[in-house]
Amino acid sequence: MKIAGRGLAERGPVRLFGILNLTPDSFFDGGRFINPEAALARALVLEAEGADALDVGGESTRPGSGSVSEKEEKERVLPVLKSLRGRISIPVSIDTSKAGVAEAALECGAAIINDVSALSADPRMASLAASSGVPVVLMHMRGTPGTMQKEPVYGDVVAEVLEYLLSRAAFAEKNGVAAEDIILDPGIGFGKTVEHNLALIRGFAPAVAGRFPVLIGHSRKNFIGRLLDNAPPEERLCGSLGAAAAASLSGAAFLRVHDVRATRELLKVLSAIRKEEPCPSSN
Ligand code: HH2
């Protein structure tokens, strides 16, 4: 499938996944879009601001969070997915590690699977991804959201995350997922220290070296707060834009962001400076 008119691996300006969390407890937008009407309105705003896809989730994976039941997750996301049908023209990604949720979401119009467990949490997910033929985001996580921030240690974080994700990509392909449908994501904030996150934003896409497109999900995360004198999530926009610029320059194909308009503007200027976009007539 194509996102923003291009195949996943085609080069061009960075594409944006706008985040829409339908949860009471997500670390930034939790509780704001539980009401399906508020969620639909937010989806329309994210599309109008220039999102290339919408990433809809019904379970927070912030550090320390617990899991929700499949029934609850479906109750959060399915009504909103149904209401988005025919109302937005960008593809919708379902952010879940449960095959039952993904399957129901695909039936309701979702067209991308974003699995933070890289197809490891649910034995049915790989075959579902293969049979549905949609793009799949494979993300690296150390441990579970409940435990992942307890002193994560790596020798060489970029090499270890890459090795893991290439093995998950091989697993996906063995189970019938087409190579051109695979996106790799180093899992910023999922079992990583500040230094690990910085190393991955700098070095992961160059290490992948074009074998798969790379997605970076840095938006308003804790490492940005830590770099900014413990700024809370509401005060991490400028920091997030700095990380978006660095991720883009390092070769990421996709960014997963809360702030679509601001990130789009940042990327526009960056692309013009790098001569990737035509410059408006001068004066
Ligand atoms: N981060 C979060 C959730 N899903 N998916 C991918 N592929 N990559 C990410 O980095 C990623 C993700 C966590 O962020 P958020 O959804 O904003 O918060 P919460 O987990 O509290 O809902």
218/225 Cα distance (integer angstroms): 11
**How confident is the model over 14-66, as pLDDT tens digits?**
999 999 999 999 999 888 998 899 999 999 999 999 999 999 999 998 887 87
Contacts of 204 (CB under 8 A, 6+ apart): 158, 161, 162, 186, 214, 216, 250
Ligand 1 midpoint to CA 187 (Å): 8
**How confident is the model over 145-198, as pLDDT tens digits?**
777 777 789 999 999 999 999 999 999 999 999 999 999 999 999 999 999 999
Portion of the chain with pLDDT greater than 70, in percent: 99
pLDDT band, residue 282 (cuts 50/70/90): low
Average pLDDT over all residues of the chain: 94
| Residue 240 backbone phi and psi in degrees, to 5 | -65, -35
**pLDDT for residue 166:** 98
Ligand 1 midpoint to CA 26 (Å): 9
Is ligand 1 within 6 A of the CB of residue 103?
no
Please give the average per-residue pLDDT across 250-257, as a whole number. 98
Task: Inform me whether the pLDDT recorded for 67 exceeds 90.
Answer: no
Name the H helices within 175-236: 194-208, 222-227
Is ligand 1 within 6 A of the CB of residue 96?
no
Ligand 1 midpoint to CA 275 (Å): 31
**pLDDT for residue 199:** 98
52/260 Cα distance (integer angstroms): 10
- Looking at 256, 264, 268, 275, which residue is catalytic? 256
260 three-class SS: helix
Is ligand 1 within 6 A of the CB of residue 19?
yes
Structural contact between residues 191 and 228, judged by C-beta atoms closer than 8 angstroms: no
**pLDDT for residue 275:** 83
Q: Is 221 a catalytic residue?
A: yes
CA nearest 17: which of 103, 91, 111? 91
Is ligand 1 within 6 A of the CB of residue 145?
no
**pLDDT for residue 5:** 84
Tokens representing residue 33 in the block: 């879009």
Ligand 1 midpoint to CA 188 (Å): 9
Q: Classify residue 2 as exposed, middle or buried by CB count within 10 Å of its CB (0-12, 13-18, 19+).
A: exposed
Q: Is 268 a catalytic residue?
A: no
Contacts of 197 (CB under 8 A, 6+ apart): 188, 189, 218, 221, 223
CA nearest 36: which of 56, 66, 17, 59? 56
Is ligand 1 within 6 A of the CB of residue 21?
yes
Whole-prediction pTM value? 0.96
**pLDDT for residue 41:** 96
Ligand 1 pocket, mutate which of 116, 136, 138, 182 (most atoms under 8 A from CB): 116
- Looking at 76, 142, 221, 236, which residue is catalytic? 221
Please give the average per-residue pLDDT across 228-249, as a whole number. 98
- The CA distances from residue 160 to 151, 169, 196, 208, in Å, are 16, 14, 11, 12
